[in-house]
Amino acid sequence: MRSAVSKRENWLEAHSLTPDKLALARLVLAEVQRGKPVMDSLRRHPAPGGGYLGKYALVAAYNEMVASGELGADDRLLARIRMKPVRTLSGVTTVTVLTKPYPCPGKCIFCPTDVRMPKSYLPDEPGAMRGLEHNFDPYLQVRSRIETLEAVGHPTDKIELLILGGTWSSYRRDYQEWFVKRCLDALNFHSAGLQNLPTLDTRRQESSDSANSPAPAILGRCVANPGELIEAQAVNETAPHRNVGLVIETRPDEITPDELAWLRYLGVTKVQMGAQSLDDRILELNKRGHDVATTRRATALLRAAGFKIVLHWMPNLHGATPDSDREDFARLWQGFCPDEIKIYPNQLLANAELYAYWQRGEFKPYTTQELIELIADIKPTIPRYCRVNRVIRDIPSTNVVEGNRRTSLRQDVHEELRRRGTRCQCVRCREVRGRPVSPAALRLDDLTYTADFAEEHFISFVTPDDRIAGFVRLSLPAAGSPQTGLLDLEGAALIREVHVYGQSLSVGEEQEGAAQHSGLGTRLIEEAERVAREAGFGRLAVISAIGTRQYYLERGFERGAAYLVKSLRGNLG
């Protein structure tokens, strides 16, 4: 395993951070310590040869000074110089990993096809570029991303793994198991007993050697031997980089009770699905391959199994109009009730079948202004329990043939909302993020709503200015709830998510005014227990991520087959 010194030296060399630049960074850092604005100090000290230092140079100087003892660890200082703190303001650090190219069962006319990429992805999308660079090796992708995040000052001990790449469920299960296990190997890298894993540099060389192969050697043994995944999961429970969420994306027609059990074996906690539309006519015109009833069954099954549900919704599909899209969006909250959504306006790409429709004059993309007005109309209607993760795909504008090319659509929509004097009340728009929190001033709010076959409770701590400091999603199965076949869930209420907001802090770390580690999570769980008990449930199950198992075990839960469970009988405290 490389030493911390050699790791830092390699990183500094890769980023051309010469001794002169490092000395300059130390000078700027000293000014920032005295209260000077970061950007003003950077501009006051141009880099040798022209230009200005990046914030990564300040973080490198900070890390070196802390390591040498010249400077004590200072969270406030690090927060000021950190690049893009918004990346971890939701409380966790997300690492995106891409699967290898593989056939997709879907035939959607809007979906781009590139033989170098998994279905629906383009090689110049930012996340996809990282996957391609590392030949889709999961270990390489995770390790390199963690090193980059650490280098620019982000905490990496609580990692949400977001696995992208078309339809996860269509990949062979031995590949899926191997893929997840190798992601965990990367997270477990510094753990005792795993020092013999190949270094990142070695894996990068293996990847380079096989880059011209249609089936790279690095993907050759895509099978985890019996027990390997379970062992990697066990190590990760106390690893330096804990997996606090595992997300996959799939199609509604792939969700079955058997699939639910498999996803729990892998450690999955959140499922993204492409609903795209809730209009059967539109789904058929776009060759989606499933109907609305299938999406309804899939969301009900996922909810009954405790998964967090993310639905993708696409305005401007072939056959749709802005008015029909407004009507369609309203259907999302009629039983489906996703926890999170991604709004992905259909984009006309030359390598999609839809391009031929456009050439024949049968399809016309919305203009940017039409999209802004549409999304500004529907965004304020989103329930307060739902989070809007994305408002547009991060597809470079050079790929778009006609229609909207702006990737800053979210900002454009919010500007339009400000002009109208209204606002969105979704979870993302109300997160407390980096603002200081006074626990004594928080209000406990229980937003109750009805989804298909479940009574849902979105229980949150809210600040006086209506910001969310933390929440728990509690699901109470109702009559007719789908049978999952998962024994842990029989007769149980389900905690589907516990989330406390604020800048991501290290495990066990405290920061004055920070929502994380202020006991809010424990209080939310206790409230969920009370609500479930009063509703007549004798057991409570939680869909725990691998790296949060210890957290729930410390709060009275016990290990089940695939969930952590707790008896509510006699627990009247």
Angle at 85 between CA 84 and CA 89, to 5 degrees: 135
Residue that wins the pLDDT comparison between 212 and 304 = 304
Residue labelled with tokens 């087959």: 561
Please choose, from the candidates 307, 248, 316, the residue with its C-alpha nearest in 3D space to the C-alpha of residue 276. 316
115 vs 101: CA distance, rounded Å: 7
201 vs 463: CA distance, rounded Å: 47
**pLDDT tens string 101-111:** 998 899 999 99
Reply yes or no on whether the pLDDT at 518 is more than 80.
no
DSSP-assigned beta bridge partners for residue 242: 158
DSSP-assigned beta bridge partners for residue 446: 459
At 22 the pLDDT is 78
189 vs 100: CA distance, rounded Å: 22
Residue that wins the pLDDT comparison between 73 and 210 = 73
Q: Are strands 468-477 and 454-462 parallel, antiparallel or unpaired?
A: antiparallel
Q: Could you tell me if 283 and 275 are in contact, meaning their C-beta atoms sit under 8 angstroms apart?
A: no
Q: Are strands 443-451 and 454-462 parallel, antiparallel or unpaired?
A: antiparallel
**pLDDT tens string 525-537:** 999 999 999 999 9
93 vs 32: CA distance, rounded Å: 25
Reply yes or no on whether the pLDDT at 573 is more than 70.
no
**pLDDT tens string 52-63:** 777 767 777 777
Please choose, from the candidates 333, 299, 100, 224, the residue with its C-alpha nearest in 3D space to the C-alpha of residue 233. 224
At 194 the pLDDT is 42
- Quick one: tokens of 372? 């802004």
What confidence category does residue 35 fall into, taking pLDDT thresholds of 50, 70 and 90? confident
Q: Are strands 158-164 and 492-500 parallel, antiparallel or unpaired?
A: unpaired
Please choose, from the candidates 110, 104, 106, the residue with its C-alpha nearest in 3D space to the C-alpha of residue 286. 110
Residue labelled with tokens 């604005």: 37
Intra-chain end-to-end CA distance of the chain, in Å: 49
Q: What is the mean pLDDT of residues 364-391?
A: 98
- Quick one: tokens of 20? 């002169």
Q: What's this model's pTM, rounded to 2 decimal places?
A: 0.84
- Quick one: tokens of 204? 């990068």
3-state SS record for 411-440: HHHHHHHHHHCCCCCCHHHHECCCCCCCHH
3-state SS assignment for residue 198: coil
78 vs 420: CA distance, rounded Å: 37
Helix, strand, coil % over all residues of the chain, rounded to 5: 40, 15, 45
At 222 the pLDDT is 53
DSSP-assigned beta bridge partners for residue 161: 95, 246
196 exposed, middle or buried (CB, 10 Å; 0-12, 13-18, 19+)? exposed
Packed helices 138-151 and 126-133: angle between N→C axes, nearest 10 degrees: 120
Distance of CA 76 to the CA centre of its chain: 25
**pLDDT tens string 269-316:** 999 999 999 999 999 999 999 999 999 999 999 999 999 999 999 999
Radius of gyration of the chain measured on its C-alpha atoms: 24
